[in-house]
């Protein structure tokens, strides 16, 4: 069942989305060689608490942290650790979710560490973020879920990269994950039409090599099968009469 949101519900989601954005902005500025992913986690946890919101990920199916921090060949769901110290040339994806007043916000960015990030990784980050905006342009009443993924896939593959299939975006509202699933590729089952008030977390995950993923022994961290680099950007977007409304702005 897909739950469409009223204007007052969208206002609440905007507030949770705003908190997520403020946290991510601060973390982006903090990323530097020598910073550990646990340093990022600690700051995020403090800021979320100060905002009056609650972290959305911690405790979700037993997930241990408020952030997911995924470095280089890690696609998503990397677990923050004091032992994972960022170094120049790395790229780190930071995914953050909160719940405020019963409504969820969820967003992700990928950030370059230091000055020695390769041209390929820089292009990967640019293409992945741009593919998210290509997808957002499709968030219009009457378009289909498949139009969103199609826009990501077309843009990413034209750039010579590949789209991860094992993880997808999702509806979001009073739960972190609601229907429908939002794949980042054109898919047969995804012919659902977009309706006013639907809210979608669109989150392309893009690899420089092949699309295949595997999950590490920690049961969470998803990495590329071929060791290639991966980037991830995410926004929550509402379907409105006036077109897409980004709630995690």
Which partner in Co ion, ligand MF3, none is near 182 (CB below 5 to 8 A by kind)? Answer: none
Answer yes or no: are the C-beta atoms of 40 and 131 closer than 8 Å: no
**C-beta atoms surrounding 231 within 10 Å:** 29
Of 57-65, 115-123, 133-141, 180-188, the window that binds ligand MF3 (rule: CB under 6 A) is: 57-65
Of 27, 44, 48, 68, the one binding ligand MF3 by CB under 6 A:
68
106 belongs to the binding site for Co ion (CB under 5 A): yes
Q: Which pair of structure tokens corresponds to residue 41?
A: 């986690």
Which partner in Co ion, ligand MF3, none is near 133 (CB below 5 to 8 A by kind)? Answer: none
Q: Which helix (H) or strand (E) holds 105?
A: strand 103-112
Of 9, 73, 106, 129, the one binding ligand MF3 by CB under 6 A:
106
Nearest-approach distance from CB 182 to ligand MF3, in angstroms? 10
201 belongs to the binding site for Co ion (CB under 5 A): yes
Nearest-approach distance from CB 153 to ligand MF3, in angstroms? 19
CA–CA separation, 66 and 241 (whole Å) = 34
Stretch 171-210 residues interacting with ligand MF3 (CB under 6 A) = 201, 203
Question: How many angstroms from the chain centroid is the CA of residue 211?
Answer: 17
* Burial of 142 (C-beta count, 10 Å sphere; 0-12/13-18/19+): exposed
Cis omega (within 30 of 0) for bond into 237 = no
DSSP helix/strand/coil, 27: helix
By the criterion CB under 5 A, which residues form the site for Co ion?
A: 106, 201
By the criterion CB under 6 A, which residues form the site for ligand MF3?
A: 57, 60, 63, 68, 77, 95, 106, 108, 170, 201, 203, 234
């Amino acid at each position: 069942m897909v739950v469409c949101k009223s204007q007052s519900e969208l206002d609440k989601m905007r507030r949770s989305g705003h908190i997520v954005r403020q946290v991510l902005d601060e973390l982006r500025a903090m990323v530097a060689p020598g910073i550990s992913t646990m340093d990022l986690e600690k700051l995020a946890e403090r800021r979320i608490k100060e905002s009056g919101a609650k972290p959305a990920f911690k405790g979700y199916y037993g997930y241990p942290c408020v952030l997911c921090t995924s470095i280089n060949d890690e696609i998503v769901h990397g677990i923050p650790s004091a032992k994972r110290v960022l170094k120049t040339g790395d790229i780190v994806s930071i995914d953050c979710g909160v719940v405020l007043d019963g409504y969820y916000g969820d967003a992700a960015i990928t950030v370059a560490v230091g000055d020695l990030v390769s041209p390929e990784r820089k292009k990967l980050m640019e293409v992945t973020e741009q593919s998210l905006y290509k997808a957002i342009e499709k968030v219009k009443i009457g378009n289909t879920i498949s139009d969103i993924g199609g826009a990501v896939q077309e843009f990413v593959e034209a750039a010579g990269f590949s789209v991860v299939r094992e993880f997808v975006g999702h509806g979001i509202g009073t739960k972190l994950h609601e229907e429908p699933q939002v794949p980042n590729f054109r898919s047969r089952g995804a012919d659902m039409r977009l309706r006013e008030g639907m809210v979608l977390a669109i989150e392309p995950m893009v690899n420089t090599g092949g699309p295949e993923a595997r999950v590490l022994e920690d049961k969470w961290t998803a990495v590329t099968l071929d060791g290639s680099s991966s980037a991830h950007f995410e926004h929550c977007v509402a379907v409105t009469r006036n077109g897409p409304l980004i709630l995690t702005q």
